[in-house]
């Protein structure tokens, strides 16, 4: 699986979906051309995520879309996901690799160059870098204070050879600069999940990051 081809990356979170079911959001995102889906769903129990994950695995497998699980290696194994995305407080990348095997995709979140280099050395396939413009998905960090900016993307992209995915406050209008800074793709939660029409929102982001339309359209 070539993570370098991932341009538009959806991270699910029902609490930020304006009442829409996650399955409906994922269906719409697939219709809109999303490249990869990450099952996040913080603050839900393992059984609920497992049951949802089974449904998302069916949808993504049928569409030929990668499915990753946030944090939980066990759930990724149970639903036959393509891999996991790990944060700094989750299992180490090397341990996840040992458990999931060489074919699994393992992503790792980082906000420092040192962390990026360590994750690559440990066997990560790609890095999630941010929050670039700030984010509403981390309740303990004020949005106006948690943006890392585009400079960090450039620094990390220059320091590693694996793909960099920018995340945090990314929209169709501000996504192109993230790629210009060195990222290979962008990840979003609310830009897609909270949209009135998630399919159209996905389509607009996909067009923006591939240069098919002007980002101001």
Question: Dihedrals φ, ψ of 39, to 5°?
Answer: -80, 105
137 catalytic per annotation: no
Q: Centre a 10 Å sphere on the Cβ of residue 36 and count the other Cβ atoms it contains.
A: 28
Q: How many angstroms separate the CA atoms of 165 and 211, rounded?
A: 17
109 catalytic per annotation: yes
Per the residue annotation, which of 40, 72, 97, 203 is the catalytic one?
A: 40
Residue 175 burial by Cβ neighbours in a 10 Å radius (0-12, 13-18, 19+): buried
Per the residue annotation, which of 4, 21, 54, 138 is the catalytic one?
A: 138
Per the residue annotation, which of 17, 109, 137, 190 is the catalytic one?
A: 109
Nearest to residue 198, comparing CAs of 6, 61, 4, 11? 11
Q: How many angstroms separate the CA atoms of 208 and 211, rounded?
A: 5
Measured in whole angstroms, the distance separating CA 216 from the mean position of its chain's CA atoms is: 23
40 catalytic per annotation: yes
CA distances from 151 to 122, 169, 178 (A): 24, 15, 10
Q: Which residues are catalytic?
A: 40, 109, 138
């Amino acid at each position: 699986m070539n993570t370098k081809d991932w341009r538009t990356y959806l991270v699910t979170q029902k609490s930020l979906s304006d009442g829409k079911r996650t399955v409906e959001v994922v269906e719409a995102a697939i219709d809109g051309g999303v490249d990869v889906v990450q099952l996040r769903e913080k603050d839900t129990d393992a059984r609920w995520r497992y049951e949802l994950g089974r449904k998302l695995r069916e949808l993504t497998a049928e569409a030929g879309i990668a499915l990753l699980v946030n944090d939980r290696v066990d759930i990724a194994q149970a639903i036959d996901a393509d891999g996991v995305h790990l944060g700094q407080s989750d299992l180490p990348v090397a341990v996840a690799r040992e458990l999931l095997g060489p074919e699994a995709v393992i992503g790792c979140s980082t906000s420092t160059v040192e962390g990026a280099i360590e994750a690559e050395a440990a066997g990560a396939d790609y890095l999630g870098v941010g929050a670039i413009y700030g984010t509403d998905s981390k309740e303990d960090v004020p949005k106006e204070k948690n943006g890392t900016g585009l400079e960090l993307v450039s620094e990390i992209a220059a320091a590693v050879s694996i793909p960099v995915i920018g995340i945090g406050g990314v929209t169709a209008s501000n996504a192109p600069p993230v790629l210009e800074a060195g990222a290979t793709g962008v990840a979003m939660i609310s830009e897609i999940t909270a949209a009135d029409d998630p399919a159209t929102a996905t389509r607009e982001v996909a067009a923006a990051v591939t240069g098919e339309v002007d980002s101001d359209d």
